[in-house]
Every structure is written in structure tokens, then in C-alpha cells.
A and B are shown apart, each in its own frame.
Chain A
Amino acid sequence: MILNINKKQYTVDIQGHETLAEVLRDTCGLTGTKMSCNEAECGACTVIINKKAVLSCITLAADVEGEEITTIEGLSDGDNLHPVQQAFLDHGAVQCGFCSPGMILASKALLDQNPKPDQNDIAYALDGNICRCGGYLKIFDAVRAAAEEKSSVKDKKV
């Protein structure tokens, strides 16, 4: 079976019951995707599938063949961090970092759908992602900043 992860083809030999989180981590070696509860309650395993934030711990790998899967490893462009990653770094939105891959991908998925989210939109989009270290204020700052960065880049292009 072939999985399309971060625009690369991964040929994987998997069992039917294996979750995407397990396959990403154990078979593909993409350990940036974390697992903290393994029962769809914490958001640490969030990846993006076809532009939508999805919990990879309750997604069967076999179900996403042919879909476009983005993990945290696929977000930066070489040395250049994605604006959401950069904003998380700049705004101190990362402490232990274990929730960060999921949090960053959930934020990216939000911004792709809603480029100018208000505080409420951000809180609702991230409510499935637990951060235990720092609370959510700095994460909100980061997402807002990334949104501004994105819109200013767009303005420049226009």
C-alpha cells in the first residue's frame, strides 16, 4: 500500500487494524506526530489530511491511501519554518513541545480555512488539543500573529 505523506510516496506493509499514528511513527519513522492518550481526547496526534485536521490515533492507515497527508515534518520548507511554526517559536507558545506538532497542524488547518480567525474561532479550533504546560494564551498570540503574517504576505503579492 502507498501512503502519500508530505508529498512523498511511502510504500508500507501494514495490517488492517493499524492506525495512521502507529504507521507514521513506527513504519515511516515520522515520530514528530505524538500520541498522548491514544483515544482521541488530547489532539497530540493531529495531522492534516486533505486540508483538514484529523486525529491520526483513530484513523486507520488503510483508510487514507491516496489522500494527501501532512505531518509536522512536512510543514517547513527546508530551513524556513512555516509561518505558524515561526509564530509558535516567536511567541513562546512552546514549552515541552509534546503537544506542539498537533497544535501547530490544527492551527494551520484553521488558518487555511479561516485566514482571519478571531479569538473565539481559535479557541474552538484548538479545543481538542491539550497543552498542559503553558495554557493557551501564548498559543492564541501565535495563531493570531501567523494569521497577520499570512495576510500581509498575501497583500504584498497582490
Chain B
Amino acid sequence: MNTDKKEYTNPVGKSVPRIDGRGLVTGQAKYTFDLKLPGMLIGKLLRSPHAHAKIISIDTSKAEKLPGVKAIITARDTHLIKFGSNEYFFPQTIDQMAIEADKVRYIGDEIAAVAAVDEETAQKALSLIDVRYEILPAVFDMTEAMKPGAPQIHDALNNIALILPVNFGNPDRALKESDYVREDIFYTQSAAHCAMEPHVCVGQFETFSNKITLWTSTQAPFKCRESLAKCLKMDLNNIRVIKLAVGGGFGGKLEMFPMDFAACLLSKKAAGLPVKITYTREEEFSFSRRKHNMIYKIKSGVKKDGTLTAITGEVIADGGAYCSYGPTVLAAAMMRIFMVYKIKNFKITGFRVYTNNPISGAIRGFGGVQSGFSVESHMDLLAEGIGMDPVEFRLKNITTPNMVTVNKIMLTTNGLKECIEKATRACDWKNKRGKLKHLCRGIGIGIAADVMGSKMYKAHESAGSIIKIEEDGSVYLFTGAADTGQGSNTALSQIAAEELGVSYTRIKCTAADTEITPFDTGSFASRVTFISGNATKNAATDAKKQILNIVAEEHKMNADELDIKAEQVINKKSSSVIMNFDKALELCYSFNYGRQIIGRGSYNPKTTPIDFRTGEGNVSGSYGFEAQVAEVEVNKETGQVKVLKMWDAHDVGKAINPQSCEGQIEGSITMGIGYTFYEDLKFKNGRVVNPNFANYRLPRSIGTVPIETIFVETNDPEGPFGAKGMGEASLLPTSAAIANAIQDAVGVRIKDLPITPDKILKALKEKDLMEKSKTKS
């Protein structure tokens, strides 16, 4: 990095280079994937080959005799404790054991683990473990699973792990009083995270101290520690979870995984030798977590003037074998609507259903991608039904700044209107919508809102930061927030430098290590910039105050009269320079003072708990908004759709690092385009049939779509320097914007993702037949 300090003072709002950038481009950054410790063993997991079966017996004796095998664990070595993700809000959904004991519920359920001197030996040992099963009937279709008499996967009635009824106002009456009512059913498919660094961990047990250290590729080190402590029946303070560089997460690395547990327990059994477990790409696709495939039924009413009167519906989510983050995914899929549309009468019931498919969990967008496609497609159809422009329709019904929604969400800054106006202006909506049909081109819009954090596993949602400043003026930031590639270490360092009034080049950032860095719930729900950012800003304020107190004491002034700006301690009123930052630090550490500068900060967003029996509560301290437009061209002969351009106007509050914000938006939209057209995790009898990059298609460089990003800066008073989180929202409306554009181009509506050429051709054919029969009659 250029060490010219002036260039990097007041870094907020500037696209400063990533704090870890040089390490990343030179291959020097160390990921858990790269970790190699002395004496390290290789661990492998034995998985169920059956989708549903009772475990009759497990015999490991042959495997134990294999030379090179150092440890084997089965459920007999565990405390048979269940873990899960939503213990605080949904204790009934804590349903998975790290190593299953009596029953397996999907192809891939972990039932034993081996540590050996090398991978070959570990693999061979797995094949020598003799497991006898009693195969049980299995169910793979979520609607079949809900029928009485379906195979019972857990103790849940009709395999429904969770019902979420959200009900406000009088939707039945409102529908009756509407001028136009329509019902649509949307289908969304499963998908995979595909982080480039696979799930990987190294566990090491210290025999002399009974302590465990786990290095793991995670988005939530503290959550991982909590589940590990629970399953291992150990105290939190005897477990240390360390996050190194992480090669992507996208929601797939939010939990403790059986591999984390197994690596620690295997190490204990192997007298403290470290054990490394690395998922293969096939394991990533088949046995990590996946997106919930959903059926989204939605029925709404409108008045002639476009006013939405009621939204009702039913959401069914295929959860697979265990709950994971399913409950919150389902809740988010239903309740995001309140942040976007002003609606008084609402009734949607959600069902999170067990099947014998692989486990569904969190994935970027948290249910918002499935609901985004469904709701935003439906809104276009409603607008069409009353002959209204979809943009005008949305502008009439969207939420506004400083409003309380019917379910008590407190919206403060809200740039949704501006997002819609700016996106539609940029794409020339007025001159394009409905006017490009002769070219088989069309344009479509989708809008979305997102939270800045969400309490998922604790009563609080706080983050903490520590900033120590040493006598040479180096600023060390310690945060528990998990940078998984999105650049949070950079954004937090910018916030620290801005608040301290120093150059960004002074900051060194350590994140995250549960024994060193303050608690942080993790990287999810677009929360880090907002929540961890506030904690970091508070820590910087505290550190600055300590410095200014000493300068004030020395100069017999009042500390309130001083500030630090652009590396100088100044008199606030006169702006005169008192001393530079380096001199101030020399003073702090001088003979007379000798006071260490250690700032601390904590932040817990002002929210109210959600009552999941009703859907009432204010989940986030602020909300982000966005509008997205897609322009497409449809080839009527082949059914192929080409996305010509995407526009994205995003209320980011304040772009701390505009380049990183663009990166988040471009990454989200790219992922959204993949999901719209081809990303499709397929199963046959519970087995993933496309567990590799050759058969699971995802966006590659050919076919990259131009994206125009527009920042709407609403400067949220609660955000650090006005910033909001923004890592997920741009993914939510992409599928709908494209589907809406396709309808504009060729007049067909696709309601089940992915949108394949076959579906387009079929819809075009049906439309042709309809039109012909109309002209005949």
C-alpha cells in the first residue's frame, strides 16, 4: 500500500485498497485450507448411504487395526447432545447430533469419523467400518411429507418442524372489498453456496490443559464455539475458535458442522495430535447446506387506483433432514414483505417441512431470494391486472421513511422511493417499458428491503471492538466480526481511522479469535458494517478521548475543546494545530504519563424481540432498500434469454468503501442471474445428482452482464457515519426483475425457477394457442 498518510486520512467514502489485499494477490494470505501443523492427522467422516434408516450396529474393530489409523469416533464417544441454530427463539428445532446415534435421516448423515496419518489410510479405514442399517421408508417431496401416514423423520407431526402464522388486520374482508384479486403459485429450486474455499477445519486438543483449539473456515466463530462447547460438554473458556482468511461463506459457514466437532474429538482421542478435515467439492454440494426449495402461494387484492388491500398466502419450505437456520429463513421469506409494502391486512402461514433430502439452511438472502421472486413477480401481475405501470404501482404501495409497519417494524431512513426513481431514470424506463416488443426486448423491475442484523441465536445481537494504540502510533483493531472475503476488515478499519482522525494506513486489524477478539455474533444478515461498525466507531471514540485527555492535561485545556483531524490534534474552535498524532502518542507514553491507549466499544442495535407466534417486532436497528431493473432480449426460436443490462439503485446509508459496495452488488446480482437461469441443485431419492462444477452450472466469465450501480445515501443517523449493511439485498429482486422483463418482452410469465429455454418455449407455445383460439372464437 502507498504509505502516503494524507491520501488515506478521512477514508470513509473512499475506495481505499483492501487492508488484506496484498496478502490475497500474492498468495501469502493463510486460509484454514492452507494450515499444516506438526504431526497433523487427516480426518474423514463416515456418512450414511441411506436416506432414512435405523442404525442397528457399528463395528469399527477392523478399521482400528489398520496401520496408520490413530482415532475413530462414533456416537458412543459423544454425549448424544443435539445442536442447532435457533435455540433462543425455536428450542424445538434443535434436532441434529454431531454424530448420529440411532437413526440417519439423509444421504450423508455423519455416523463416525476417522483420523489417520494420511488421507488414503483414513479413506480405507472408513471402508472397513461395518455398519448395519434397517432401511426405513423415506420421503423426498415436501408436500408428500406433510400428508398423514408419510414416513416420520423426527417427532414432528406431519413432518412439520415449524408453523409460522403471521396474521394482521382482516385480510378476508379486505380481499372481498378489492376491485381485483389474483392468486399465483411460485416454485423456487434448491441451490448451493459454492464458496471457493471448501469447509475445512483443524482441531487440536491440549492434553495438559484439557483445552481445544479449532481453526475453521467460518462466518461465525463465536456461534461455532457455543455449539462445540455444548456438544463436547465443555466450558466455553476451554474452547478457542480461530478464523483465518476465509474463502467465501454466503451463509454456508454460519454454524458448527459435525466436521468441527469430529476434528476436536478425534484429536482428543489421538492424544492431542491435530486433526484436519477438508470437504471435497462433492461433499460441499451434497452434505453441507443448501438453499430451501419453496412453494410460495400468494393471493392479494388491489383497488382500481392501485392500492394494495391485502396479501395472503402460504409458504412451504423443504428443510431436508434437520432444521439448521430454517426457522429464520422461513420467517424472513414471509416477513420481508412488511419492509417493502405498506400493508394492513396480511395473512401468510409458513411451513418448514422435514424431508429426507440434504439439510437446507442459510444462504445469502435468507429466504429473500425465494420470496423476492414470488412477491415481486406477483406485484407485476397485480399491476397488469388493473392496467397500471409496475413502477407506478410500486411507488403507490411502498413503505416510507419514519413509519411503523403493521407488525411494529420501525422504519427510519428509507430510500426506497429514491431507489425506484433513480433506477428507472437510469434505465430509461419510460421509453423502454412495453415499447421494445418488436425487438423481443423488455424491461422489468424488482424491489427489496433488508435488515441490518437479526437476533438468531442470542437474546442480544451485540458486537464489540477493542482498539489499542501503541507508542509508535500504530493502531490495532480487534474485532470478532468475521471477514469472509466481503471486506469487513477493510470497512471496519476505515471506520476506526475516520473516527480517530488518522490515516487508514495506521490500522492493523485482527479478526477473529474467540480468545482474543471481543464477542460478535458473526457475518450474516448484512449486519457487520452496521453493528460491528458501530462497535468499532465507539471503540475509536473511546481511544480518541483517552489521547485528548492527556493532551488537554499537558496543555491545561479542556479535552472537549480538542479533536483529532487529518493526523493532527487541533483546537476545535480555532482549528489551530496543537500537535500531530505521533507527538500526541509520544506524550501518552512519556515519562510523565505512561498511559496506554486502549479503547473499547460495544454496540447492540435498538430492536424489540420478534414474537414469532404473531410476527410482531422490530428485528433490525435500521433497514436497507433497493430497486433493480433488468433489460432482456428473448430469442423466440430457441427460448434463450439474454440479459442485456442490470441497473441497481441501493440505499446503502453511506458507502464506506464505494468499490467494495459495488463488489457486493455485482456479486449478488451475478449470483442472482445464475439462480434465475441455471443454478439448480438436483436430487434423486435424496441424493444430489450434480455435485460438481461441471453439472452444477454457475456464472462464469463468458456471458457476464453489465451492471450499473447507483448509491442512494440516506445517511442513517443510527449507522456508523450513516452506513447501512448491504451485502445481500441486491440478490433478492434479481429473478423477479428478469422474469418481469421477459413478460414485457414476449408476454409470457414464468413462475417456476430456473427460467430455462424449455420453459420459455413451452410458455410461448401456450400463448400462441391461446391467442389462436381467441381469434377463432
**Given A94-B21, A96-B485, A133-B485, A32 and B702 contact (CB-CB distance below 8 Å):** no
Binary B-proximity of A129-143 (CB < 8 A = 1, otherwise 0): 111111111111000
With beta carbons under 8 angstroms apart, the residue of A71, A100, A137, A138 that contacts B24 is A100
Minimal beta-carbon separation of A6 from chain B (angstroms):
11
Residues of A within 8 A of B580 (CB): none
Flag if B701 contacts A95 (CB, 8 Å).
no
Binary B-proximity of A31-69 (CB < 8 A = 1, otherwise 0): 111111111011010000000000000000000000000
Residues of A within 8 A of B246 (CB): 96
Q: Does B31 count as interface, using CB distance less than 8 angstroms?
A: yes
Complex: how many Å from CA A62 to CA B281? Answer: 25
Residues of A within 8 A of B692 (CB): 37, 39, 41
Flag if B18 contacts A89 (CB, 8 Å).
yes
With beta carbons under 8 angstroms apart, the residue of B22, B23, B27, B486 that contacts A95 is B486
With beta carbons under 8 angstroms apart, the residue of B15, B18, B22, B196 that contacts A130 is B196
**Given A81-B25, A94-B21, A137 and B196 contact (CB-CB distance below 8 Å):** no
Complex: how many Å from CA A37 to CA B283? Answer: 10
Q: Does B459 count as interface, using CB distance less than 8 angstroms?
A: no
Q: Does B707 count as interface, using CB distance less than 8 angstroms?
A: yes
Residues of A within 8 A of B30 (CB): 31
Binary A-proximity of B345-358 (CB < 8 A = 1, otherwise 0): 00000000000000
Query: Among B326-334, B400-408, B658-666, which stretch is in contact with chain A?
Result: B658-666
With beta carbons under 8 angstroms apart, the residue of B25, B198, B660, B699 that contacts A100 is B25
Complex: how many Å from CA A44 to CA B198? Answer: 12
Flag if B485 contacts A123 (CB, 8 Å).
no
Complex: how many Å from CA A94 to CA B248? Answer: 11
Minimal beta-carbon separation of B645 from chain A (angstroms):
12
With beta carbons under 8 angstroms apart, the residue of B29, B36, B196, B704 that contacts A135 is B704
Flag if B196 contacts A92 (CB, 8 Å).
no
Which chain B residues in 20-44 approach chain A with CB under 8 Å?
A: 20-31, 33-34, 36
Residues of B within 8 A of A38 (CB): 280-281
Residues of B within 8 A of A39 (CB): 281, 692-694
Which chain A residues in 71-100 approach chain B with CB under 8 Å?
A: 71-73, 75-76, 81, 85-86, 88-92, 94-100
Minimal beta-carbon separation of B364 from chain A (angstroms):
10
Complex: how many Å from CA A25 to CA B402? Answer: 55
Minimal beta-carbon separation of A91 from chain B (angstroms):
8
Complex: how many Å from CA A96 to CA B704? Answer: 19
Complex: how many Å from CA A99 to CA B707? Answer: 21
Flag if A133 contacts B27 (CB, 8 Å).
no
Flag if A123 contacts B704 (CB, 8 Å).
yes
Q: What is the size, in residues, of chain A's interface with B at 8 Å between Cβ atoms?
A: 55
Flag if A36 contacts B281 (CB, 8 Å).
yes
Q: Does B715 count as interface, using CB distance less than 8 angstroms?
A: no
Closest to A73 in B: B27
Closest to A36 in B: B196
Complex: how many Å from CA A155 to CA B353? Answer: 65
Residues of B within 8 A of A138 (CB): 659, 662-663, 666
Minimal beta-carbon separation of B511 from chain A (angstroms):
14
Q: Does B241 count as interface, using CB distance less than 8 angstroms?
A: no
Which chain B residues in 100-116 approach chain A with CB under 8 Å?
A: none
Complex: how many Å from CA A152 to CA B437? Answer: 45
With beta carbons under 8 angstroms apart, the residue of B198, B487, B700, B707 that contacts A127 is B700
Q: What is the size, in residues, of chain B's interface with A at 8 Å between Cβ atoms?
A: 56
Residues of B within 8 A of A20 (CB): none
Q: Does B747 count as interface, using CB distance less than 8 angstroms?
A: no
Flag if B25 contacts A85 (CB, 8 Å).
yes
Q: Which one of B22, B27, B248, B660 has the highest number of Cβ atoms from chain A below 10 Å of its Cβ?
A: B27
With beta carbons under 8 angstroms apart, the residue of B22, B247, B662 that contacts A89 is B22
Q: Does A147 count as interface, using CB distance less than 8 angstroms?
A: no
Closest to A30 in B: B27
Complex: how many Å from CA A35 to CA B21? Answer: 20
Closest to B33 in A: A34
Residues of A within 8 A of B20 (CB): 97
Minimal beta-carbon separation of B362 from chain A (angstroms):
16
Q: Does B639 count as interface, using CB distance less than 8 angstroms?
A: no
Minimal beta-carbon separation of A3 from chain B (angstroms):
17
Complex: how many Å from CA A151 to CA B87? Answer: 59
Residues of B within 8 A of A33 (CB): 27
Complex: how many Å from CA A95 to CA B484? Answer: 8
Residues of B within 8 A of A95 (CB): 248, 485-487, 663, 667
Flag if A89 contacts B25 (CB, 8 Å).
yes
Closest to A138 in B: B663
Binary A-proximity of B633-677 (CB < 8 A = 1, otherwise 0): 000000000000000000000000001101110110111000000
Minimal beta-carbon separation of A16 from chain B (angstroms):
14
Q: Does B49 count as interface, using CB distance less than 8 angstroms?
A: no
Q: Does A5 count as interface, using CB distance less than 8 angstroms?
A: no
Complex: how many Å from CA A31 to CA B660? Answer: 26
Minimal beta-carbon separation of B774 from chain A (angstroms):
43
Complex: how many Å from CA A18 to CA B29? Answer: 24
Q: Does A111 count as interface, using CB distance less than 8 angstroms?
A: no
Flag if A72 contacts B27 (CB, 8 Å).
yes
**Given A39-B281, A41-B692, A140-B704, A92 and B245 contact (CB-CB distance below 8 Å):** no
With beta carbons under 8 angstroms apart, the residue of B21, B23, B28, B196 that contacts A132 is B196
Complex: how many Å from CA A131 to CA B250? Answer: 13
Q: Which one of A31, A90, A126 has the highest number of Cβ atoms from chain B below 10 Å of its Cβ?
A: A31
Complex: how many Å from CA A139 to CA B314? Answer: 42
Flag if B667 contacts A122 (CB, 8 Å).
no
**Given A31-B30, A96-B247, A98-B248, A136 and B17 contact (CB-CB distance below 8 Å):** no
Binary A-proximity of B175-219 (CB < 8 A = 1, otherwise 0): 000000000000000000011111000000000000000000000
Complex: how many Å from CA A26 to CA B26? Answer: 18
Flag if A97 contacts B670 (CB, 8 Å).
no
Flag if B27 contacts A137 (CB, 8 Å).
no
Q: Does B131 count as interface, using CB distance less than 8 angstroms?
A: no
Complex: how many Å from CA A37 to CA B693? Answer: 8
Residues of A within 8 A of B25 (CB): 72, 81, 85-86, 88-89, 94, 97, 100, 104
Minimal beta-carbon separation of A56 from chain B (angstroms):
13
Flag if A75 contacts B26 (CB, 8 Å).
yes
**Given A76-B26, A81-B25, A98 and B196 contact (CB-CB distance below 8 Å):** yes
With beta carbons under 8 angstroms apart, the residue of A35, A42, A122, A136 that contacts B693 is A42
Which chain B residues in 275-317 approach chain A with CB under 8 Å?
A: 280-281
Which chain A residues in 113-132 approach chain B with CB under 8 Å?
A: 122-124, 126-132
Flag if A123 contacts B248 (CB, 8 Å).
no
Flag if B670 contacts A31 (CB, 8 Å).
no
Residues of A within 8 A of B33 (CB): 31, 34-35, 98
Complex: how many Å from CA A25 to CA B26? Answer: 15
Residues of B within 8 A of A127 (CB): 700-702
Complex: how many Å from CA A26 to CA B40? Answer: 12
Complex: how many Å from CA A138 to CA B666? Answer: 9
Complex: how many Å from CA A124 to CA B246? Answer: 28
A-B residue pairs, 4 tightest by C-beta: A32-B27, A96-B485, A98-B247, A97-B24
Q: List 26 A-B contacts (CB under 8 A).
A: A31-B30, A32-B26, A37-B693, A72-B26, A73-B28, A81-B22, A85-B26, A89-B17, A89-B18, A89-B21, A91-B659, A92-B18, A92-B663, A94-B24, A96-B247, A96-B485, A97-B25, A98-B31, A98-B247, A98-B248, A104-B25, A129-B701, A132-B248, A134-B663, A136-B704, A137-B666
On B, residues with C-beta under 8 Å from A are: 15, 17-18, 20-31, 33-34, 36, 194-198, 245-248, 250, 280-281, 484-487, 659-660, 662-664, 666-667, 669-671, 692-694, 698-704, 706-707
Besides A89-B21, A96-B247, A98-B196, 5 new A-B residue pairs in contact (Cβ under 8 A), listed by A number = A41-B694, A81-B22, A100-B25, A126-B701, A132-B698
